[in-house]
Chains A and B, each alone.
Chain A
Amino acid sequence: MSALDWFVLLSTTLAIVVFGLWKTRSAQTSTAEYLHGGYRENWRTIGLSVMATQASAITFLSVPGQGYEDGMRFVQFYFGLPIAMVVISAWFIPIYYRLRVVTAYEYLETRFDLKTRLLAATLFLIHRGLATGVTIYAPAIILSAILGWPLQPTVVGLGVFITAYTLIGGSRAVSATQKQQMVVMLGGILVAAVVIVLRLPDDVSFSKAVALAGVHGRINPVSFQFSLNDRYNVWSGLAGGFFLALSYFGTDQSQVGRYLNGRSIGESRMGLLFNGALKIPMQALILFIGVLVFVFYQFTAPPLLFNRPLVAQVQASAEAPAWSALETRWDVLQTQKQTQTRQFLVADQLSTREALRQTEAQVQTLRAEAKVLAKRAVPGAETKDTDYVFISFVTRWLPHGLVGLLVAVILAAAMGATASELNALSATSVVDYYRRLVHPNASDTATLRASRVFTVVWGAIAIGFASFAALIDNLIQAVNILGSLFYGAVLGIFVCAFAFPRLRGNAVFWAASASQVLVIVLYFTSDIGFLWYNVAGCLGVVVGASILARTTGQLKAKSAA
């Protein structure tokens, strides 16, 4: 990075951190401020905080890569989200507010019993603890790739920095700084989109660029074809995406904690609806940036593999001559592709389209060969390079200053998402375990101290897991698959609580335990798209608890319900 990039990166990040520290003056002294910010946020802060919590560095690292490789169809994953926002606003929020809970799981003891509350809290802690590791790992890849730092120390350094920031700031500072982080993020991606368009050859208009992306199947945001094995279509997006979003925003403490910081029900509802309206266009824009990078590389030769550190290892191995031969073939193929692309722009005909598609198929075959070779040269290396596509483009082709801004965007996203997650992990550990089981009469000072200790402990666990995240092939899918494995059962518990007043704790607890096992078995033994795990897990709890309650005579009497 140039001096200008460093200036932009450091000044942006420092401004956010200093603002956060200034905001934390009162948060140092009370548990209420540390865990839930004192219930005083307005809907704009809530909306941006909810968005910043979901938009981790992975969003800016992995999603453009998905757009590059697979087009825009990933956007369908978010179609269920606005529906979930409506359901949570209408049903979940009034109940949480009426009981004035700090964590969502507190409600489950009021409604069912202690063991059901602890089951849901435990499932949250397991999966969120692991997912936080991935959200720390993602920006570490970028810093490591750009600055040439070794990956493991970068993971640890970044994890310690974000944990310290959360520890000092608490919930209120997390919410306050997330506003600035979202502004930096949205501004950064808009600027990136404009610059990529300007980087296209002078004679390639925007509409021609989109047409070219269409020929290569990248303008594919909607598919109505139903298939259980297809990860992204309208139906899996609406049904699976709805269940996933309902679980994530309705029962995951990292999100519940954000909107329960509101000063009233109305502020929390508006914050969620604001998120529901903005999320789809924001994700579509980020995917479209990946598509534009793909178009850019139709006129300029991309690297054979985007993971530069891996390429350097291959070139230093015994497979170097074979790699060099592949690169020669790659250069020939790229020249041929550029010529055909020019022919297509002059004459958009069936024959020019077909020629382009055939060459693209050869490009993909050659990349597959390169991955096999890389695997042979560096046994155990991960060769899927989707997560490196965008960062490789940024560092190679964006002007000085903008590289620093985009790294600041990614760092801001990492700080916002990870701080929320650590805060939620700490809140759940304190409220649902420490204050419930260990020290029910703990003083405010003791509880605050415990909250900080748990923040550090979860930070350490996340850093530990982040050290293994290199084994994951696509980060955003990994996080969503991890969530889908656990969310269904937790959502099922909440659906039973809200919608089935005659069900009791025992039936729900055992049905949720069995359903969780069922989802894990499905993951290891079937090929169904991961979004359907949310549906299966939730329905498993509802149907299982209903059958169990009826067969064991544990249904509440109608009058008691």
Chain B
Amino acid sequence: MSDEQRPEMDDAAPILGRWRNLYIAELAILAGFILIFWRLSAAYA
């Protein structure tokens, strides 16, 4: 059976169209948290 015929090889991204967009969203969330925490640290330093 080729990879395409195996159901477990299904890798369609469920949202945002492509996995690349989901990965960018994940990294953007991380950047957002670091930004918020940096502002918090600066505010109470």
A residues within 8 Å of B by Cβ? 39, 43, 72, 75, 79, 82-83, 85-86, 89-90, 94, 97-98, 100, 210-211, 213-215, 219-224, 234, 262-266, 269-270, 273, 276-277, 280-281, 284
Q: How many residues of B contact A (CB 8 A)?
A: 25
**Which of B3, B30, B33 has a CB less than 8 Å from the CB of A98?**
B3
* A266 B13 Cβ-Cβ under 8 A: yes
* B29 & A265 in contact (Cβ 8 Å cutoff): no
| Residue among A213, A221, A224, A262 with the highest chain B CB neighbour number at 10 A | A221
With A and B bound together, what is the CA distance between A94 and B45 in angstroms? 45
Near A by CB (< 8 A), chain B positions 10-45 give 10-14, 19, 22-23, 26-27, 29-30, 33-34, 37-38, 40-41, 43-45
Known contacts being A89-B19, A214-B43, A222-B37, is A264 close to B9, with CB within 8 Å? yes
A263 touches B8 (CB 8 A): yes
How far does the Cβ of A78 sit from chain B's closest Cβ, in whole Å? 9
Given known contacts A234-B34, A264-B10, what 7 new A-B pairs fall within 8 Å (CB)?
A: A79-B33, A82-B30, A213-B44, A224-B38, A262-B8, A266-B11, A269-B19
> Can you list 9 A-B contacts with CB-CB less than 8 angstroms, sorted by A residue number?
A86-B23, A90-B23, A219-B40, A219-B43, A265-B10, A265-B11, A266-B10, A269-B22, A280-B33
Residue among A86, A89, A211, A270 with max Cβ neighbours from chain B (10 Å): A86
Task: State the Cβ distance, B7 to closest chain A Cβ, in Å.
Answer: 6
Query: Please, which residue of chain A has its CB at the minimum distance from the CB of B22?
Result: A273
The 10 closest A-B pairs by CB, nearest first: A214-B44, A221-B37, A219-B44, A265-B11, A222-B37, A264-B10, A82-B30, A86-B23, A222-B38, A222-B41
Of the listed residues A43, A83, A213, A264, the one surrounded by the most CB atoms of chain B closer than 10 A to its CB is A264
Which residues from chain A contact B43 at a C-beta distance below 8 Å?
214, 219
Are B7 and A263 interface neighbours, CB within 8 A?
Answer: yes
Q: What chain A residues lie within 8 Å of B38 (beta carbons)? A: 222, 224
Question: Least Cβ distance of A243 to chain B in Å?
Answer: 16
Main secondary structure of the interface of B (DSSP, over half): helix
Whether the pair A280, B40 counts as a contact (CB closer than 8 A) is: no
Q: Which residue of B lies closest to A281 (CB)?
A: B33
The reply to whether B41 and A221 form a contact with Cβ atoms under 8 Å apart is yes
Contact present for B41 and A223 (CB under 8 Å):
yes
In the assembled complex, which residues on chain A have CB atoms less than 8 Å from the CB atom of B13? 266
In the complex, what residues of A have CB within 8 A of residue B37's CB? 72, 75, 221-222, 284
Which chain A residue shows the least CB distance to B8?
Answer: A264
Give which listed residue, A211, A222, A265, A269, contacts B34 with CB less than 8 A.
A222
State how many angstroms separate the Cβ of A210 from the closest Cβ of chain B.
7
Question: Roughly how many angstroms separate A79 CA and B14 CA in the complex, as a whole number?
Answer: 25
Q: For B22, what are the chain A residues with a Cβ–Cβ distance below 8 Å?
A: 269, 273
List, in ascending order, chain B residues with CB within 8 A of A263's CB.
Answer: 7-8
Measured CB to CB, the nearest residue on chain B to A220 is B41
On whether the beta carbons of B7 and A264 are closer than 8 Å, the reply is yes
Chain A residues within an 8 Å CB radius of B40: 219, 221-222
Do A94 and B33 form a contact, CB below 8 Å, given A83-B27, A277-B26? no
Chain B residues with CB below 8 A from A280, complex form: 30, 33
CA distance A166 to B26 in the complex (A): 33
B41 & A82 in contact (Cβ 8 Å cutoff): no
Residue of chain B at shortest CB distance from A75 = B37
